[in-house]
């Protein structure tokens, strides 16, 4: 029926024209094959629905009985996604022309709607998943009982000699290092010191510190160091024994710490922590630490200053013997105590740094005196090289197999004792013996008492024993033992005109080969070599490649390195290791004191044989032949030295080596004396120093000590007895192929008497003054009257630096 008010809209009233129009697809008719919005027959782009405001024929095409819809204003309509897709998103969206601004706006709205929805979902997951994981982990983990943790830590650690069966010593005996306290027995000054050092918010936090966690997470991702553990977290870590640097371990630690704070009171937690944490010196728990550091049987007597040092040792207990570290940590902790109003500046001034009592006063004598420091050195080596911590070793009761050979160690001790008998007490010898074929330390002599200064590890000026590294630098440039240098005194550009002189009158004058200069230890030749050819950085590189691990950065710009003076300071172990590289034909093996670590049942925990850092490597050149030639040329230059110094090996055995001295101030005396040498089977270094009260080296007859003197005699006695004891064959060093110029015939020379070794000529001294504050004095709280080494502003040799 016709719709009222719209004439001719009924089916019967359309007329012929209307019917014909609809039949022919005239405007207002449905497109062939469908309704508005459907593709026409034959395919093509969908026709969008027409808006009744823009196209009145929509009303004309309404089906019979269809309700009339009111026109909508475009400005009030929210088009749906199909509308966007149909109008704008098809592959041919721009075929009728570019998009309008309105179309672009609608497209952007659609994209951002999807982005917002994705962000909402992601944010929800970031909140929900951690909360869910925290809840699940909380239900699964258990917090260990403090008493059980304490009992678990009382395990025996046993050290063995290199044969793996002969016991050296037991440490951390059950009950010997444990004193459990109740909370009311812990002095307030101890609590405050520990809070200041480790967790100032302990009494108010919920077991973890969000800021610290984020910092630790960032460090983990970026490869940085340091963590953000609270006291509760530290206790959990020590109790579980899991110290892996992973995010998983950190997550479990956080949850456990929270659960511990929900399970135990704060007094219970801090008591458990202070009864189980490791302080160094074999002391577990703060009461044992007070005994180990200050011989205090009653911890209530501890001062705020002493408590600050103990708290400072918690961070890195392996460095508990490092006096500079002790001072740094004490300064930090007392500063934090002042900042938190637990100590006043007046109190800190009234209670200055309290040095711990000597270790010897708190340890037994289970080992001969020279060996008492070896257990600590072995554990420190494992910790310093990132293999395992001291706490891990002691908590698990591991067995440590050292590289020390018992008989070799005894021979080293005997050699020192026999040569040093009746000598002045201010003279201190250090001896290190290394197997060139393995890098294993077979004997280690740190000093007669074994618990004071470790003279084998103390860094000191090596004098002329450093000259072989000058030669390595020269050989790498293709020049060798046949190169000619003028040995007459020279200033090497020194604006003050100060000349470098030889320690003895050379036999070769202006035509000295490098080989002759090494034998006679001619300072001018090696200074010339480094000044004009090798350069100080070249010597540093050669020394490091050989095996010197001590830092030499300060010596890299100092010509005094040519003769082992100035800022050149190395340890006895460094020199034994570096010369072992020459003995091994240029193959370097990092020195080590620990061979294996085993569980109590004998299972291997760690083995040096497969440790990557301990694998053999070519020291000087990637080409094996060139590398071997460099080492063999160095050996060739050192073969005549022992005989020339009257300390050649017994029975005609081939041995190579170099003496060295370092002069004391501008005097005729020496402050350092060395002998370093090797056979194919053993490399040994002997150093000699004076103590802080008397630095000059004079023997029992008041004679000046040189490298060929007491150090050379100790070296010879040890090397002879070692090779004889084990009946070792007389091995040679292989064929010598010269690098660069072939060595020319040198004028005949005779062995020099020890008393003339490196004796300063009348023209003036030949060595710089020694630097005792760094090389002989481990305690930063004491001083000596000796002035420090004067820096050479021009980079030129100071008066007589180095010597013999």
Please identify every residue annotated as catalytic. 198, 464
Give whole-number Cα distances, 474 to 284, 480, 737, in Å. Answer: 53, 7, 16
DSSP state of 76: G
Which residues have CB under 8 Å from 342's CB, separation 6+? Answer: 189, 192, 193, 195, 196, 304
CA-to-CA distance for 517 and 486, rounded, in angstroms? 10
Question: Dihedral sign, CA of 626, 630, 635, 640?
Answer: positive
Nearest to 571 by CA among 445, 456, 684, 661: 456
Q: Count of alpha carbons within 13 Å of 2, Cβ hemisphere only?
A: 10
Distance of CA 314 to the CA centre of its chain: 19
CA-to-CA distance for 758 and 468, rounded, in angstroms? 17
Judge contact between 229 and 219, C-beta under 8 A. no
Element (H, E) at 719: helix 710-725
Element (H, E) at 597: strand 594-598
Give DSSP secondary structure letters for 272-286: HHHHH-B-STT-BSH
Phi, psi of 605 (to 5 degrees): -95, -40
Phi, psi of 719 (to 5 degrees): -65, -45
Judge contact between 531 and 768, C-beta under 8 A. no
Give whole-number Cα distances, 256 to 105, 139, 235, 745, 774, in Å. Answer: 52, 10, 10, 78, 46
CA-to-CA distance for 512 and 496, rounded, in angstroms? 26
Phi, psi of 104 (to 5 degrees): -65, -40
CA-to-CA distance for 738 and 482, rounded, in angstroms? 9
Please work out, in degrees rounded to the nearest 5, the angle formed at the alpha carbon of residue 564 by the alpha carbons of 559 and 565: 70
Judge contact between 663 and 767, C-beta under 8 A. yes
Q: Strand runs (DSSP E) across 397-547, as ranges?
A: 399-402, 427-434, 441-445, 484-485, 512-513
Judge contact between 708 and 646, C-beta under 8 A. yes
Q: Which residues of 475-493 are buried (b: 16+ CB within 10 A; e: fewer)?
A: bbeebbbebebebebbebe
Give whole-number Cα distances, 132 to 88, 123, 261, in Å. Answer: 43, 14, 20
């Amino acid at each position: 029926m016709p719709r009222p008010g719209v004439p001719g809209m009924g089916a019967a009233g359309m007329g012929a024209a209307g019917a014909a129009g609809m039949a022919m697809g005239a405007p207002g008719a449905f497109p062939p094959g469908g309704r508005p919005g459907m593709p026409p027959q034959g395919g093509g782009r969908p026709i969008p629905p027409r808006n009744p405001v823009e196209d009145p024929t929509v009303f004309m095409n309404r089906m019979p009985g269809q309700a009339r819809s009111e026109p909508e204003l475009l400005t009030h309509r929210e088009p749906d996604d199909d509308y966007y897709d149909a109008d704008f998103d098809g592959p041919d969206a721009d075929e009728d022309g570019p998009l309008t601004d309105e179309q672009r706006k609608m497209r952007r709205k659609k994209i951002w709607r999807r982005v917002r929805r994705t962000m909402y979902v992601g944010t929800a997951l970031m909140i929900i998943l951690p909360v869910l994981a925290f809840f699940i982990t909380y239900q699964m983990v258990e917090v260990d009982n403090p008493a059980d943790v304490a009992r678990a830590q009382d395990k025996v650690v046993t050290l063995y000699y290199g044969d793996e069966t002969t016991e050296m010593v037991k440490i951390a005996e059950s009950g010997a290092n444990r004193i459990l306290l109740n909370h009311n027995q812990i002095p307030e000054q101890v609590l405050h010191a520990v809070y200041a050092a480790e967790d100032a918010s302990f009494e108010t936090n919920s077991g973890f510190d969000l800021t610290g966690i984020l910092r630790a997470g960032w460090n983990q991702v970026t490869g940085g160091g340091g963590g953000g553990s609270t006291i509760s977290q530290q206790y959990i870590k020590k109790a579980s024994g899991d110290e892996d640097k992973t995010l998983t371990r950190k997550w479990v630690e956080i949850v456990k710490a929270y659960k511990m704070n929900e399970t135990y009171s704060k007094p219970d937690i801090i008591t458990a922590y202070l009864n189980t944490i490791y302080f160094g010196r074999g002391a577990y728990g703060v009461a044992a630490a007070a005994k180990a550091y200050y011989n205090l049987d009653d911890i209530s007597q501890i001062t705020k200053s002493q408590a600050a040092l103990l708290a400072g040792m918690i961070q890195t207990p392996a460095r508990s013997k490092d006096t500079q570290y002790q001072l740094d940590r004490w300064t930090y902790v007392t500063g934090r105590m002042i900042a938190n109003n637990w100590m006043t500046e007046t109190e800190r001034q009234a209670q200055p740094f309290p040095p711990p009592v000597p270790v010897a006063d708190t340890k037994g004598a289970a080992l001969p005196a020279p060996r008492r420091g070896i257990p600590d050195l072995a554990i420190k080596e494992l910790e310093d090289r990132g293999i395992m911590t001291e706490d891990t070793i002691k908590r698990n009761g591991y067995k440590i197999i050292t590289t020390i050979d018992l008989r070799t160690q005894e021979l080293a001790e005997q050699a020192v004792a026999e040569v040093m008998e009746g000598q002045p007490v201010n003279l201190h010898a250090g001896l290190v013996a290394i197997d060139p074929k393995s890098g294993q330390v077979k004997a280690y002599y740190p000093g007669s008492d074994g618990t004071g200064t470790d003279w084998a590890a103390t860094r000191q000026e090596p004098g002329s024993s450093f000259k072989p590294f000058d030669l390595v630098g020269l050989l790498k440039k293709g020049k060798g033992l046949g190169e000619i240098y003028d040995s007459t005194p020279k200033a090497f550009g020194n604006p003050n005109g100060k000349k470098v002189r030889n320690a003895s009158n050379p036999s070769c004058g202006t035509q000295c080969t490098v080989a002759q200069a090494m034998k006679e230890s001619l300072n001018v030749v090696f200074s010339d070599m480094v000044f004009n050819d090798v350069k100080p950085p070249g010597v540093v590189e050669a020394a490091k490649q050989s095996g010197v691990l001590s830092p030499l950065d300060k010596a890299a710009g100092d010509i005094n390195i040519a003769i082992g003076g100035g800022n050149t300071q190395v340890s006895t172990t460094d020199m034994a290791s570096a010369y072992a590289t020459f003995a091994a034909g240029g193959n370097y093996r990092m020195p080590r004191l620990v061979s294996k670590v085993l569980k109590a049942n004998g299972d291997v925990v760690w083995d040096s044989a497969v440790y990557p850092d301990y694998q053999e490597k070519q020291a000087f050149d990637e080409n094996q032949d060139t590398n071997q030639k460099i080492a063999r040329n160095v050996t060739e230059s050192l073969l005549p030295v022992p005989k020339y110094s009257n300390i050649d090996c017994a029975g005609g055995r081939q041995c190579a080596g170099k003496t060295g001295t370092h002069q004391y101030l501008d005097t005729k005396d020496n402050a350092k004396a060395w002998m370093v040498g090797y056979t194919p089977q053993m490399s040994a270094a002997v150093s000699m120093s004076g103590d802080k009260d008397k630095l000059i080296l004079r023997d029992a007859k008041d004679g000046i000590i040189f490298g060929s003197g007491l150090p050379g005699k100790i070296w010879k006695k040890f090397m002879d007895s070692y090779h004889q004891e084990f009946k070792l064959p007389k091995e040679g060093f292989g064929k010598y192929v010269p690098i660069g110029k072939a060595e020319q015939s040198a004028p005949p020379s005779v062995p020099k008497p020890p008393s003339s070794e490196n004796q300063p000529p009348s023209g003036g001294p030949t060595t710089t003054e020694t630097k005792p504050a760094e090389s002989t004095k481990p305690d930063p709280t004491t001083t000596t009257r000796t002035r420090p080494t004067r820096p050479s502003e021009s980079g030129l040799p100071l008066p007589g630096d180095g010597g013999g």
